[in-house]
């Protein structure tokens, strides 16, 4: 069952995250980068707590006790995700929704290598080949057809986008490490527990930061509470399924399959934000799908 369940969980998470990114990107112009960043955590926490409660009812299990190692991994993931989200929103200010997503999604190769070394995730040659092919699709999709080099004005957004991708990869490894270090519990209760712990940490960090340095952004997020609640719910919903995926398979598998989010983002870019999709981007989509297909074949 778990052999196919991680695929379903990842696809649901990717769809929900695409919707969350779209909702959250609109908040940046209204309440600032950090204000929009904290929305996904603070407004997502009540929903994550609800998911944990439902998980306890469904499984009949109590949340497992945290170990020092589990808390350390989760803290690493929480801090990396805050920084990655802020960088993602900064990049969205200067580049399209789809291209920002593409830069961020260069993370799977780094995730595969780092996770194999840091938490012992198995990395076979066929899986690594699939990761490379899918990531190559992202590179094709995100480069411009009229030039083979980045123009000087593109280096800033490319740098922030790629750094965001690296930090999202570190976050994925941290969260999977936190789940694996829990002493007991089913995959569902482990995933739900670490999600709540991570959102508590992230909410506290950002509340403290904004209360001291940018109280106006904090208050502004409550002023647009309807949009903030929507972004918070979508963020918690997506994270719930990301964490389920991390509890069932390697971080590299989850983050490579997650590249279908780029295809979803192109749809949002074209039909919601009215940003054109080029022929080169369509080729990139085909290569991404080919890489994902290789990954799923390698897992059988």
Q: In this predicted model, what pLDDT tens digit does every residue of 133-158 receive, in sequence order?
A: 988 887 787 666 544 444 345 555 66
Instruction: For residues 189 and 13, give the distance between their C-alpha atoms in angstroms, rounded to a whole number.
Output: 17
Sign of the CA dihedral with 137 first, then 142, 147, and 148 last = negative
The answer to whether the beta carbons of residues 27 and 35 sit under 8 Å apart is yes
Res 284 pLDDT > 70: yes
pLDDT for res 244:
96
Asked if residue 189 has pLDDT above 80, the reply is yes
Q: Report the share of the chain in percent with pLDDT over 70.
A: 88
194 falls in which pLDDT band (50, 70, 90)?
very high
Does residue 277 carry a pLDDT above 90?
Answer: no
145: tokens are 């057809």
Mean pLDDT (whole number) for 233-243: 93
Report angle CA 150, 88, 52 to the nearest 5 degrees: 150
Band (202; pLDDT cuts 50, 70, 90): very high
> Which of the four pLDDT bands, split at 50, 70 and 90, describes residue 276?
confident
The stretch 284-300 carries a mean pLDDT of 85
User: Picking from 29-38, 42-51, 114-123, which range would have the lowest pLDDT averaged per residue?
Assistant: 29-38
The domain segmentation of the chain, as residue ranges, is 2-121+151-277
For residue 142, the model assigns a pLDDT of: 67
Q: Rounded CA gap, 258 and 29, in Å?
A: 27
Instruction: Write down the pLDDT at residue 180.
Output: 95
SS3 label, residue 230: helix
Check residue 140 and give its pLDDT.
Answer: 80
CA distance 239 to 261: 14
Lowest mean pLDDT among 52-61, 70-79, 105-114: 105-114
Find, among 6, 278, 9, the residue nearest to 145 by Cα: 278
Residue range 4-12: mean pLDDT, rounded: 91
**Residue 247's Cα: distance from chain center in Å?**
15
Give mean pLDDT, residues 219-238. 86
Which one has a higher pLDDT value, 155 or 48?
A: 48
What is the rounded average pLDDT of the residues 104-112? 81
Residue 105 CB burial class (10 angstroms; 0-12, 13-18, ≥19): buried
Question: Has residue 286 got a pLDDT over 90?
Answer: no
**Length in residues, the chain:** 300
Two structure tokens written together for 30: 């209204």
pLDDT of residue 1: 46
Higher-scoring residue by pLDDT: 114, 156: 114
At 87 the pLDDT is 82
What global pTM score does this model have? 0.84
Predicted confidence at residue 151, as pLDDT, reads 39
Comparing 103 with 215, which gets the higher pLDDT? 215
């Amino acid at each position: 069952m778990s052999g196919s369940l991680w695929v379903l969980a990842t696809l649901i998470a990717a769809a929900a995250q695409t919707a969350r990114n779209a909702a959250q990107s609109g908040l940046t112009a209204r309440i600032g980068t950090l204000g929009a960043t904290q929305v996904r955590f603070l407004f997502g926490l009540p929903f994550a707590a609800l998911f944990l409660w439902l998980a306890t009812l469904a499984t009949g299990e109590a949340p497992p006790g945290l170990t020092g190692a589990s808390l350390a991994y989760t803290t690493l993931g929480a801090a990396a995700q805050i920084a990655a989200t802020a960088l993602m929103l900064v990049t969205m200010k200067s580049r399209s929704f789809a291209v920002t997503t593409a830069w961020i999604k260069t993370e799977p190769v780094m995730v595969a290598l780092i996770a194999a070394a840091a938490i012992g995730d198995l990395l076979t040659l066929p899986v690594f080949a699939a990761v490379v092919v899918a990531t190559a699709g992202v590179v094709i999709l995100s480069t411009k057809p009229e030039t083979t080099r980045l123009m000087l004005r593109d280096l800033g957004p490319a740098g922030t986008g790629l750094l965001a991708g690296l930090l999202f990869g570190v976050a994925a490894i941290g969260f999977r490490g936190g789940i694996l270090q829990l002493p007991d519990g089913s995959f569902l209760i482990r995933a739900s527990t670490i999600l709540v712990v991570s959102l508590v940490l992230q909410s506290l960090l950002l509340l403290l930061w904004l209360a001291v340095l940018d109280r106006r952004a904090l208050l502004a997020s409550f002023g647009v509470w309807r949009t903030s609640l929507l972004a918070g719910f979508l963020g918690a919903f997506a994270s719930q399924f990301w964490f389920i995926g991390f509890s069932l398979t390697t971080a590299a598998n989850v983050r490579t399959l997650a590249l279908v989010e780029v295809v979803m983002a192109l749809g949002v870019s074209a039909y919601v934000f009215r940003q054109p999709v080029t022929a080169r981007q369509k080729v990139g989509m085909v290569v991404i799908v080919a890489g994902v297909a290789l990954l799923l074949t390698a897992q059988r």
